[in-house]
Amino acid sequence: MSKTRKLQLKGTIEWAKVFEQNRDKEGWNGSYEDCNGACTVNMILDKENLKILKDSGTSKELDNDKKKTEKGYDVKFVRKFEHPDFPVFAGPPKVAKADGTPWDIDVDGLIGNGSVGIVYLSLYENASGKIGTRLDGLQVLDHVEFESEGDFGGPDFKDYSSTPNSDSDDDDDSIPF
């Protein structure tokens, strides 16, 4: 295979880190440190879309039981944020809404787990002769709003913004410690 081929797969979106602001800067083992991070997305593929990916000849490991979930098969797609030899293959992927218009992170927000979408991929022969898979784009068909697991607030914190910051009964400007 000498030419790049394009591939589209539909699935459930998990852990979408596809914007400059939320890209994965390290990887699980530091694998993205040399490229200033990477934009990544996990897709839960059904049997039909998994077969399409397998039939593409990709060198991605697809027969790992750890990747099977009750919803389908979990596959991670990656796009380096910086590429020393080919800058055109780096940076954030294109992200679009269901109607094909560009996603605006400031207006549309982050993409939450459980969203449904299409990944747009390039398949190419890498230096070792294997078929590499690069994330080129993501189209969100059914958006689930992102909900942070680490939100501040709630019962652990009180609002002290309108109360004076003083532990003493003195009205002077002394430091209370």
Burial of 159 (0-12, 13-18, 19+ CB in 10 A): exposed
CA distance 56 to 50: 10
In this predicted structure, the answer to whether residue 9 has a pLDDT above a threshold of 90 is yes
Residue 116 token pair: 């449904």
Any idea which fold 5-148 has? OB fold (Dihydrolipoamide Acetyltransferase, E2P) (2.40.50)
Q: What percent of the chain has pLDDT over 90?
A: 51
The more confident residue out of 36 and 35 is: 36
**Does the structure show a pLDDT above 90 at 71?**
no
4: DSSP letter = -
**38: nearest Cα among 48, 29, 27:** 27
How is residue 121 written in tokens? Answer: 């991929």
- Residue from 6, 7, 4, 10 nearest 139 by CA: 10
The H-or-E segment that residue 11 falls in is strand 5-17
CA angle (114 as vertex; 110, 117 as ends), nearest 5:
75
Model confidence pLDDT, tens digit, residues 143-162: 998 887 655 555 566 667 77
Mean pLDDT (the chain) is 84
Nearest residue to 125 via CA among 30, 37, 51, 57: 57
The pTM of this model reads: 0.77
For residue range 101-133, what is the model confidence (pLDDT) as tens digits? 999 999 999 999 999 999 999 999 988 999 999
- Residue identified by tokens 């000849």 is 57
Contact predicate 46/72, CB 8 Å: yes
